[in-house]
Structure 1
Amino acid sequence: MDDELRERVRNAAEVNALYNALKHESDAQVGAIMGPLMGANPEFREHGDEIPGVIAPVVNEVNAMAEDEKRERLGELAPEKLEELEAEPEEEEEPTLPDLPNADEYEEIRMRCAPNPNGPWHIGHARMPSVIGTYADLYDGEFIVRFDDTDPETKRPKLWAYDQILEDIDYLGFEPAEVYRASDRLETYYEHARELIDLGGAYTCSCPAGEFSDLKNDGEACPHREKDTETVHEEFDAMVDGDFSSGEMVLRVKTDITHKNPALRDWVAFRMIDTPHPREEAEDYRCWPMLDFQSGVDDHLTGVTHIIRGIDLQDSAKRQRFVYDYFDWEYPEVLHWGHVQVDAYDVKMSTSTISELIDDGVLDGWDDPRAPTILSVRRRGIRGQALVDAMVELGVSTSNVDLAMSTVYANNRELVDDEAPRAFLVRDGFTPRGDADDREFEAVELPVSGGPDAAHPLVHPDHEERGERDIPVSGSVLLEARDLPAEGERVWLKGYGPVRYEGDELVYTDDDIDIVRDGTADVVHWVPGDENVRVRLRRMDGDVTGYAEPGYADYEPDDVAQFVRVGFARYDREDDDETVAYYAHP
């Protein structure tokens, strides 16, 4: 980061810190101003690793001011922000989803989440349970989970993905009223197919795919369309018995062969698949329903009142309505929405793509920090509610929408900041992943003389009642090389006090906090030179190695701490020679 950009960061941080402190009538926090700072200044994001260290001294200076000084300074820098603070406060409306259409016509609202268990969920998948779960809560209704696993070949289910998806839903904070597996319901689909045949709504067809496509596109009926019902039943029963191979026979829904949309003309309801299903309960079946038939039947039988699906699936509703008309069923209300794209990731948000990268050894697994998956954000210590709130805020627009991970991070910061204890981490190395830029982190060990034997910073700066951390200083400390002042200059070791750099040691001085307030000394983090914990911090862009204060050895898996001037991280595990943590966000 060059000097010009550093100054811009400092100026923007001062405005945000002043506004934050005055608005909440408390000290500003680095974490609390990171979100607005990055959101308003996208060009800062590529320097996200350096930003906390630049703005921390600014935040300290602001917190050292009296309230009238803060107001005066904010008025000088950003009078419009001061006016905003002093304006009559208006009640903020919580973002809400639009009303469900015709909701008052139903005794109970029932919605469904219909995942394909061909892998665990990527972040985009979180949108459906987040929104329908919120709707269920708003309307005192229910939502069900139905695994649409009727394609054992091209979208082959992974057996462990069933439970993993249910765990992901639980992580997001929802509990489905019922859980179904479509592969358990083949006999139900066969029963309805036979009823449809009796109603004259389906016929068996052995036309080669290309031949039927030509007929369909020309609006001409296939020669099998007028088969008698008995023959259709016999051939469908042969399909069910597995007497045909893949591609030899299908069951088609009889629609309008001259319909203006060729995609709706006599579409396939059942086809043959030679590949056995991976579930033992379904491995003997060879006649499998297409999704539009299976899903349409299940939506009716499970009492679904409202469906949300992608705008690209509008034809699904139109195809299914033919089946509903034959059975004289009432079709559910339908909302369509656009796709959601997520920033901050280089990996495509696609289950198949992520799976291939794992198989090729590019990603360590589904919870690799670089993977845009729910497993990954969960392992990083991001709470499900942060993701839910961000998804709900996107609404149900038919336009494509973008999810900024900075929004998820800001939501999570609000959820964890008050609970997360503070800790020091001195970085001392970086192993980049992929195309990440090399970042230089180096720790410097220096003896300390003349000061106390220990530091006692608060566990949490806003909660004195939680006590203090005891950090021994038994002769030397580790600092990040970038924090080392010029010879003869001073720094303030956070929680310990002022020291002067005198060439080969740090000498404790009797200066007071004014040296921080007047900008002549920066506040820096540190750890003891000998009593510390070796840490590997796994980030999206690479692994940072370093040393944490000794108390970090007492943490347990899933504990989230804020490494001062670095960011929030989740304690993962203790390896033989180091502790592993996963970085969440600034």
Structure 2
Amino acid sequence: MDRAGGTPRSEPGSVLTRGPQSDTMDEDIRERVEEAAEVDALFNALKHDSDAQVGAIMGPLMGENPAFREYGDEIAGVVAPVVQRVNDMDPAQKRERLGELAPERLEELEREDEGDEHALPDLPNADEVRMRAAPNPNGPWHLGHARMPAVIGTYKERYDGSFIVRFDDTDPETKRPDLDAYDAILDDIEYLGFEPDEVLRASDRLETYYDHARELIDQGGAYTCTCPQEEFSERKNNGKACPHREKDPEQTREEFEAMIDGEYDSGEMVLRVKTDIEHKNPALRDWVAFRMIDTPHPREAASEYRCWPMLDFQSGIDDHLTGVTHIIRGIDLQDSAKRQQFVYEYFGWDYPEVIHWGHVQVEAYDVAMSTSTIKEKIDSGDLDGWDDPRAPTLKSLRRRGIRGEAIVDAMVELGTSTSNVDLSMSAVYANNRELIDDGADRAFFVRDAHAGDDAVGPAVEKPIVDGPDAATPPVHPNEERGRREIPVEDAVLVEAEDVPAEGDRIWLKGYGCVRHTGGTFEYTDDDIEVVRDGDVEVVHWVPAEGAVPTRMRTMDGDVTGYAEPGLADYEPDDMLQFVRIGFIRVDTLPAADDELVTYFAHP
């Protein structure tokens, strides 16, 4: 997909384009709507043990059935009597009917009743569950990072276990920590809906790692080595021992203490774990446990240290000392467990249960899901910051109005397969739509221009002749929410593609039917039947007088335009739906002549 400065997307649901709007529903579509609505209403009523609500099922219904969207103005009228019929049934009838229409949805309910609410497999040996997320604090999290806390947090809730966050920040050079990232990551975890039981920073624990290295040396399980890397690699690959391998523990201990005291330069000496020099996997042969790094750690408390543990040593020690029972890690890190098991054997420890999974991939973004790549784009000015809507970060999704729960549910549904899995943003959006739709008021936004091109707009102003002085569209498809009033003086603004040919009519949603005559919109006495007959398209609009200049920030770039006057009455963080466009989050309200800023969430 192209982003700002390129060709805008044209797939259905794009904020820049849309499919044709029709308000004539044939019998086939009506039957499909009724059946889908009945399934959703039955499921909703049984899940919550209460009456189904039209507003609660409209979002999922439209999200899961894109073909229904062009009949948006008629759907609620079809759904309402279906919901009423469902609510007139007793629970046994509802369950029997759902089993007839959608047995898989009934099975889903039964799994929830049995406590198996998630798509995650049971953990082995789960008498006690204590799991950890071990982020490298080199920047705020991108979307892929959410999978680990989502799954760990879900398992914690299932088994009444513990969730540890341990910052693996023992590489102050190549994966240099960002001091702001520690709190930023904890904020991201809170956004996802979880609170760690314990938070650790590995850079606070150097003395603990040193003590265990000393013990390992005393057992003859480690040795100091000054071989150049290429020379050692050649020996290792040929299954030949390094000449330092047989030095006595006393000499190794003395040299290791000199490492701790900073008496060696970077690359001059390492401490290796003694494994099997003829192991069939060369990557496991006498691996490095500690190395020298000249670059000071950015945290003041750790800035004096120069002898740093490698991740496999540090993580293995911490997992044991913090009582971790189950580890989830990428399938590409299988060797880590095997390296650490050598250390565990020396100390007589039991290794935790390990679950390996594949990577999660997201195709919805042009920007790679890489912390370093995102940081580079921010530094170069290609992105405004970590919460730029074009960035695949949790901060961006949060600013767009995506609930953390929607992300967690989508991640959990991916399971723990060892294969790489694709996260569909449509799944996140469908989850979020279900969470916000019932509370999101509707509003009109007429797009005027898209940053970088002329794919939308400019907005067209048309005088109104002989029309009412106000419109009263519904606040929400749930009619119980009432109606909003939009004053109309002399003219309205509509999007360029909605202007009908001379002599043709359109229906201004919530206002009525107008005919395009001599460059003006002449109000007619036609009633809603002209829409139902398929003769007239329904469009959104705003009054020319009092419209609020508005910027909508999207994954495609910024869209400017005008919102109906009432939008200025909302507060930052309020969620609304721009009719025929999608859900948005109010970001900042206008001050003086400034524009109101919103963030596009999803269709």
What's the TM-score once normalised by structure 2's chain length? 0.86
Q: What displacement does 1:461 show?
A: 1.9
Give the corresponding residue for 1:508: 523
Q: Which amino acid aligns with 1:483?
A: D
Instruction: Please show how residues 38-437 of structure 1 align to structure 2 within 5 Å.
Output: 58-63=71-76, 87-90=100-103, 91-93=106-108, 94-104=117-127, 108-432=128-452
Q: Which amino acid aligns with 2:129?
A: I
The residue matched to 1:316 in structure 2 has which SS?
A: helix
Matches of 1:140 and 1:449 in 2, distance apart? 67
Q: Does 1:444 align with 2:464?
A: no
| Structure 1: 5+ residue stretches without partners | 42-54, 71-83
Give the corresponding residue for 2:113: none
Give the corresponding residue for 1:548: 563
Is the 8 Å Cα contact of residues 560 and 568 (structure 1) preserved in structure 2? yes
Is the 8 Å Cα contact of residues 20 and 28 (structure 1) preserved in structure 2? no
Matches of 1:307 and 1:24 in 2, distance apart? 37
Q: Which amino acid aligns with 1:127?
A: R
Q: What is the aligned counterpart of 2:596 among 554, 567, 579? A: 579
Q: Which amino acid aligns with 1:454?
A: A
Matches of 1:7 and 1:406 in 2, distance apart? 21
Q: Are residues 23 and 485 of structure 1, via their aligned partners in 2, closer, same or farther at CA, if it must alter by over 3 Å?
A: farther
What's the TM-score once normalised by structure 1's chain length? 0.88
The residue matched to 1:491 in structure 2 has which SS?
A: strand
Q: Deviations over 1:340-395 (max 9, x none)?
A: 10021111111111111111221121111111111111111111111100000000
Q: What displacement does 1:468 show?
A: 2.6
Q: What displacement does 1:96 show?
A: 2.6
Q: Deviations over 1:474-500 (max 9, x none)?
A: 121111121122222222211122222
The residue matched to 1:314 in structure 2 has which SS?
A: helix
Q: Are residues 566 and 29 of structure 1, via their aligned partners in 2, closer, same or farther at CA, if it must alter by over 3 Å?
A: farther
Matches of 1:89 and 1:308 in 2, distance apart? 34
Q: Which amino acid aligns with 1:143?
A: F
Q: Are residues 511 and 21 of structure 1, via their aligned partners in 2, closer, same or farther at CA, if it must alter by over 3 Å?
A: farther
Matches of 1:377 and 1:516 in 2, distance apart? 37
The residue matched to 1:358 in structure 2 has which SS?
A: helix
Q: Are residues 210 and 506 of structure 1, via their aligned partners in 2, closer, same or farther at CA, if it must alter by over 3 Å?
A: same
Is the 8 Å Cα contact of residues 342 and 403 (structure 1) preserved in structure 2? yes
Q: Which amino acid aligns with 1:574?
A: L
Matches of 1:571 and 1:180 in 2, distance apart? 36
Give the corresponding residue for 1:458: 474
Q: Does 1:535 align with 2:558?
A: no
Q: Deviations over 1:192-211 (max 9, x none)?
A: 11111111111111111111
Matches of 1:391 and 1:156 in 2, distance apart? 28
Q: Which amino acid aligns with 1:161?
A: A
Q: What displacement does 1:23 show?
A: 4.0
Q: Which amino acid aligns with 2:465?
A: S
Q: Are residues 522 and 151 of structure 1, via their aligned partners in 2, closer, same or farther at CA, if it must alter by over 3 Å?
A: same
Is the 8 Å Cα contact of residues 547 and 563 (structure 2) preserved in structure 1? yes
Q: What displacement does 1:236 show?
A: 0.6
Q: Are residues 86 and 125 of structure 1, via their aligned partners in 2, closer, same or farther at CA, if it must alter by over 3 Å?
A: closer
Q: What displacement does 1:438 show?
A: 5.4
Give the corresponding residue for 1:35: 63
The residue matched to 1:336 in structure 2 has which SS?
A: strand
Q: What displacement does 1:226 show?
A: 1.2
Give the corresponding residue for 1:73: none
Matches of 2:505 and 2:539 in 1, distance apart? 11
Matches of 1:395 and 1:189 in 2, distance apart? 34
Q: What displacement does 1:22 show?
A: 4.7
Is the 8 Å Cα contact of residues 18 and 28 (structure 1) preserved in structure 2? no
Q: What displacement does 1:136 show?
A: 0.4
Once the two structures are aligned, what percentage of the paired residues are identical? Answer: 68
Segment drifting more, 542-551 vs 570-579: 570-579
Q: Are residues 204 and 368 of structure 1, via their aligned partners in 2, closer, same or farther at CA, if it must alter by over 3 Å?
A: same
Matches of 2:422 and 2:135 in 1, distance apart? 21
Q: Are residues 20 and 528 of structure 1, via their aligned partners in 2, closer, same or farther at CA, if it must alter by over 3 Å?
A: farther
Matches of 1:7 and 1:161 in 2, distance apart? 45
Q: Are residues 180 and 276 of structure 1, via their aligned partners in 2, closer, same or farther at CA, if it must alter by over 3 Å?
A: same
Q: Are residues 327 and 344 of structure 1, via their aligned partners in 2, closer, same or farther at CA, if it must alter by over 3 Å?
A: same
Q: Which amino acid aligns with 2:468?
A: P
Give the corresponding residue for 2:509: 494
Segment drifting more, 516-525 vs 109-118: 516-525
Segment drifting more, 376-385 vs 288-297: 376-385
The residue matched to 1:260 in structure 2 has which SS?
A: coil
Q: How many equivalent pairs are there?
A: 548
The residue matched to 1:131 in structure 2 has which SS?
A: helix
Q: Deviations over 1:265-323 (max 9, x none)?
A: 00000000000000011000000000000000000000100000000000000000000
The residue matched to 1:565 in structure 2 has which SS?
A: coil
Q: What displacement does 1:92 show?
A: 3.8
Q: What displacement does 1:452 show?
A: 2.2
Q: Which amino acid aligns with 1:99?
A: D
Is the 8 Å Cα contact of residues 13 and 58 (structure 1) preserved in structure 2? no
Structure number with the bigger relative contact order (C-alpha 8 A, sep ≥ 6) is: 2
Is the 8 Å Cα contact of residues 16 and 33 (structure 1) preserved in structure 2? no
Is the 8 Å Cα contact of residues 571 and 589 (structure 2) preserved in structure 1? no
Matches of 1:427 and 1:469 in 2, distance apart? 21
Is the 8 Å Cα contact of residues 21 and 71 (structure 2) preserved in structure 1? no
Q: Are residues 402 and 109 of structure 1, via their aligned partners in 2, closer, same or farther at CA, if it must alter by over 3 Å?
A: same
Q: Are residues 552 and 139 of structure 1, via their aligned partners in 2, closer, same or farther at CA, if it must alter by over 3 Å?
A: same
Q: What displacement does 1:68 show?
A: 9.8
Instruction: Please show how residues 552-567 of structure 1 align to structure 2 within 5 Å.
Output: 552-567=567-582
Is the 8 Å Cα contact of residues 28 and 59 (structure 1) preserved in structure 2? no
Matches of 2:518 and 2:326 in 1, distance apart? 71
Q: Which amino acid aligns with 1:541?
A: D
The residue matched to 1:159 in structure 2 has which SS?
A: coil
Give the corresponding residue for 1:523: 538
Give the corresponding residue for 1:468: 483
Q: Which amino acid aligns with 1:229?
A: P
Q: Are residues 20 and 496 of structure 1, via their aligned partners in 2, closer, same or farther at CA, if it must alter by over 3 Å?
A: farther
Superposition RMSD in Å: 2.6
Q: Are residues 545 and 380 of structure 1, via their aligned partners in 2, closer, same or farther at CA, if it must alter by over 3 Å?
A: same
Q: Deviations over 1:31-57 (max 9, x none)?
A: 54553346xx9xxxxxxxxxxxxx755
Is the 8 Å Cα contact of residues 149 and 183 (structure 1) preserved in structure 2? yes
Q: Which amino acid aligns with 2:242?
A: C
Q: What displacement does 1:87 show?
A: 3.0
Q: What displacement does 1:403 show?
A: 0.5
The residue matched to 1:418 in structure 2 has which SS?
A: helix
Segment drifting more, 491-500 vs 375-384: 491-500
Segment drifting more, 413-422 vs 442-451: 442-451
Q: Are residues 235 and 66 of structure 1, via their aligned partners in 2, closer, same or farther at CA, if it must alter by over 3 Å?
A: closer
Q: Which amino acid aligns with 1:236?
A: F
